[in-house]
Chain A
Amino acid sequence: MLKVFNTPFLNFIIASLVVVFVAKLLSLVAWWYLPKQGVELQSQEGIQPKYRRIVFNSMLEMQKVKKEEKKRKKSSGINITNMVLKGLYGNDKNGFAIVALRSKIKETSLIAVGESFSGYKLSSINLDSVVFTKNSKDYILELLKPKQQLQSGKRREQKVSYSEAVAAELAKPREVTRNDITYYAKNPRQIWKDISIREVKKKGKIYGFKIYKINSRSKFAKLGLRRGDIIIRANNVDLTSYKAAFDLYNHINEIDTMQLVILRDNEEKELVYEIH
């Protein structure tokens, strides 16, 4: 028995077991330092967006029809200094106001009566001002006027011309046929023949996709797109990644209205398409 334990074979077996033990120990050390979980793709919101087009033009038409308006009451309250009223439509408890912050005067928002902006709730519409409510207090915001003071008789005229400007800003929806989309979906190669788009980066981050080339005879040109345009938003989704752009491409068959916000000559423009 003693002889068996002293044999070189037993020593070899023990050495082998020690080696296996050391290998296991090292693998445990590796396990300790390695991550215990992998990476999963974070799914984001789909492309079918919260985008809702308000046909502002038709509302303005209604405005014109109502020539004989009742004289509206003017409420009393505190002036809001950090906000600007750029346009309004409606009377008293029905209507909308176009407002912006003084710091970001170009970023306008369309607020309906009952909705809030910057913590202020729009409570009523007057002839040339709106009333916001905050903490049970009323705040009046008057319509933005040009530097030259207009005579009171011209007020109404000014309001209408401004509204018309806003209406012009909201481009008329262009019609796109489903066949055109199917054609491009079936021939994606044709897309790259007709249009050349590349990402544009600011501080290393994509902020849009620039059109470098566009075939003037292509359907893209008919859509109102031009060389140099930077597409920054589509259906309320910021195009800040290739994923956003591909999501739009992959869901194109499910979309019936498309809104593109482009940067043209450093100005934001909105293009709206209705797909039939």
Chain B
Amino acid sequence: MVKSIGKFFFLIFLFLAMFLFFLPKENLYFFAEKELAKKGVVISKEEVKDKGFRFEMHHAHLSVSSIESAVVSDLSLSLYLFYNKLHIDSIYLASSLKSFLPLAIKEVDVIYSVLNPLAVEIETKGDFGKAKGDFSLVDKKLTIILQPSKLMRQKYRGTLRNFKKLKNGEYSYVKSF
């Protein structure tokens, strides 16, 4: 009996894993791209690769309302059922944003795992400093804790005013959707 249940769960797992593996990720990406375009966000000049359990994108130019806003060097989305990770390397924001933020973001990690099924974890670092946060899927609330760099403290005080200063010198930002 236990053996049969074990086999059943194995087959379910195998099905999900194989479905994820065979899923046309490039086409799914194109679908997401079309949905984003309806909201004015367009990703162009990118090179996309479906690598089984991983989806990769290189040299993407991100435009918001037709304004070129950022260039993303590398992005990889790893789908392992219980642990899914979006990793972005090197984001360069458009120079028109330099009055709001330092332009270089070194990396961004967005993680969703079964160990914390009700939230998506976010971690990033760049010229602005380091930031950690999560997005609660239950409350639909984004929380970011920022450790600003010296550059951020000196030149981007205006942006920091949108954050709440914590006692330990960090800054927090909370937004509900």
Chain A interfacial positions (CB closer than 8 Å to B): 12, 15-16, 19-20, 22-24, 26-28, 30-31, 34-41, 44, 187-189, 192, 241-243, 246, 249-250
Given A35-B30, A246-B96: A20 in contact with B18 (beta carbons within 8 A): yes
The answer to whether A27 and B42 touch (CB under 8 A), given A34-B27, A34-B30, A246-B96, is no
Best-surrounded residue of B19, B21, B28 (most CB of chain A within 10 A): B19
Q: Are A38 and B65 in contact (CB under 8 A)?
A: no
Contacts of A27 in B (CB 8 A): 19, 22-24
Closest chain A CB from B66 CB (angstroms)? 4
| CB of B31 closer than 8 Å to a CB of A | yes
With A31-B24, A246-B67 known as contacts, the answer to whether A188 contacts B30 (CB < 8 A) is no
- By secondary structure, the A interface counts as helix
Q: Does B149 contact A (CB under 8 A)?
A: no
Q: List 24 A-B contacts (CB under 8 A).
A: A16-B14, A20-B14, A23-B18, A23-B22, A27-B19, A27-B22, A30-B24, A30-B28, A31-B27, A34-B27, A36-B27, A37-B30, A38-B30, A38-B48, A39-B33, A39-B34, A39-B36, A39-B42, A40-B44, A192-B99, A242-B67, A243-B66, A243-B67, A250-B95
Q: Contacting B44 at CB < 8 Å: which of A22, A41, A188?
A: A41
Residue among B37, B66, B98 making CB contact with A241, cutoff 8 Å:
B66
Q: Give me the interface of B with A, judged by CB distance under 8 Å.
A: 7, 11, 14-15, 18-19, 21-24, 27-31, 33-34, 36-37, 42-46, 48, 61, 63, 65-68, 95-96, 98-99, 158
What chain B residues lie within 8 Å of A41 (beta carbons)? 42, 44, 61, 63, 66, 68
Q: Give Cα distance in the complex from A188 to B46, angstroms.
A: 30
9 tightest Cβ-Cβ pairs between the two chains A and B: A243-B66, A34-B27, A27-B22, A23-B18, A188-B99, A31-B24, A23-B19, A41-B44, A38-B30
In addition to A188-B98, A250-B95, 15 A-B residue pairs with Cβ atoms within 8 Å of each other are A15-B11, A23-B19, A24-B22, A30-B23, A30-B24, A30-B28, A34-B27, A36-B30, A40-B42, A41-B42, A41-B44, A41-B66, A242-B65, A242-B67, A243-B67
Q: With A20-B18, A27-B23, A27-B24 as given contacts, are A38 and B11 in contact (CB-CB < 8 Å)?
A: no
| Minimal beta-carbon separation of B72 from chain A (angstroms) | 14
Across the interface, do A12 and B7 meet the contact criterion of CB distance under 8 Å?
yes
Instruction: Tell me the bound Cα distance from A28 to B18 in angstroms.
Output: 12
Whether the Cβ atoms of B43 and A39 lie closer than 8 Å is yes
Chain B positions within 8 Å of A37 at CB level = 30
- Smallest Cβ distance from A123 to chain B, in angstroms? 43
- With both chains docked as a complex, state the minimum distance between the C-beta of B74 and any C-beta of chain A, in angstroms: 17
Residue of A22, A36, A41 with most chain B CB atoms under a 10 A cut-off: A41
Distance, CA A242 to CA B23, complexed state (A)? 37
Specify which chain B residues have a CB less than 8 angstroms from the CB of A23 in the assembled complex.
15, 18-19, 21-22
A246 CB contacts on chain B under 8 angstroms? 67, 96
For B66, list chain A residues within 8 Å (CB): 41, 44, 241-243
CA–CA, A250 to B63, complex, Å?
A: 15
A66 to chain B, nearest CB (A): 50
- Determine the chain A residues whose CB is within 8 A of the CB of B98 once the complex forms: 188
Q: Which of B18, B37, B65, B158 has the most chain A CB atoms closer than 10 A to its own CB? A: B18
Bound CA–CA A189/B97 (angstroms): 10
Residues of A within 8 A of B46 (CB): 38
Contacting residue for B96 out of A26, A30, A249, CB 8 A: A249
